Amino acid sequence: MVMQPADDWYKTFFHGLAVEMWLGATTAAGTADEAEFIRNQLGVAPGAKLLDVPCGGGRHARALAAMGFAVTGVDISSDFLAAARADMGLLPIEFHQRDMTDLPWPNAFDGVYCFGNSFGYLRDADNVRFLQAVANALKPGARFILDYPVTLECLTSHFMTQRAHDFGDMHYERDGRYDPAAGRIIVEHSFTRNGVTEKGVVSQRAYTYREVCGMLSDAGFANVQGYGGMEREPFTLGSKRLIMVGTKQEHVAD
């Protein structure tokens, strides 16, 4: 039986082998494609100020900074941030260790993105606070991209209770379940390398497309578009990914 994680599980989960696996699970080509998609969907030109939250190991931040953008990255994990800050060179990036709801830069950014399936970790009220914090950090008329493949419609096609993979010399296993009462997936992750095993349990909220649209609207976003992938294909029941793009309203009614 998968254990029940603490509400603040994300404060301690992202360290050690978990971080090493996530850093090694992506490709340079995949990152380049995602960075180009982010640039296009934000509709920004070099020199624009972008916010990456949470930024993880900084792969998108580095790719976009290399395109000429000034990027600020926020993450709660010191291990991820250590990797993000390594070999930065002269790239125009600032990394900050903060909770993703703590974005103290009002009307500062020309675009914000949350990529890599990092939405829904928090409690419902704090997920709302995150979207409100993003809206506060954006300039009026600027865009926000939310990558959220754990929407309930997506889980119908790709949620597997058990799975195992090998990443180089690391063996990874997961054992998950869906908690319908809480509307969350609960997954126990196990990472083993050289006979050493580290485990952690995560919890992520599975909102519906309609619910996320409502949350974005309440936070002050308009013209929200939802896609089933980076080809901007229509989102539908069984899509493997949801990418939403919204624009901060020029004037938000009191």
Q: Any idea which of 5-14, 36-45, 96-105, 217-226 has the lowest mean pLDDT?
A: 5-14
Q: Give CA–CA dist 167/236, Å, rounded.
A: 31
Tell me the pairing of strands 170-179 and 162-167. Answer: antiparallel
At 231 the pLDDT is: 96
**Residue 35, pLDDT above cutoff 70:** yes
Q: Give CA–CA dist 108/48, Å, rounded.
A: 10
Digit-coded pLDDT (tens) for 124-182:
999 999 999 999 999 999 999 999 999 999 998 778 788 898 888 999 999 999 999 99
Of 145, 125, 163, 140, residue with least CA distance to 52 = 145
Query: 114: helix, coil or strand?
Result: strand
Q: What structural domains does the chain harbor?
A: 10-146+208-248 (3.40.50.150), 153-204 (2.20.25)
Which helix (DSSP H) or strand (DSSP E) does residue 5 occupy? Answer: none
Q: Give CA–CA dist 46/203, Å, rounded.
A: 37
- Provide the percentage of residues in the chain whose pLDDT is more than 90: 86
User: Which 8-state DSSP code applies to residue 32?
Assistant: H
- Rounded to the nearest angstrom, the gap between the alpha carbon of residue 91 and the centroid of all alpha carbons in its chain is 22
Q: Give CA–CA dist 222/143, Å, rounded.
A: 9
Q: Give CA–CA dist 13/61, Å, rounded.
A: 22
Of these ranges, 173-177, 221-225, 247-251, the one predicted with the greatest mean pLDDT is 221-225
Residue 2: pLDDT band with limits 50, 70, 90: low
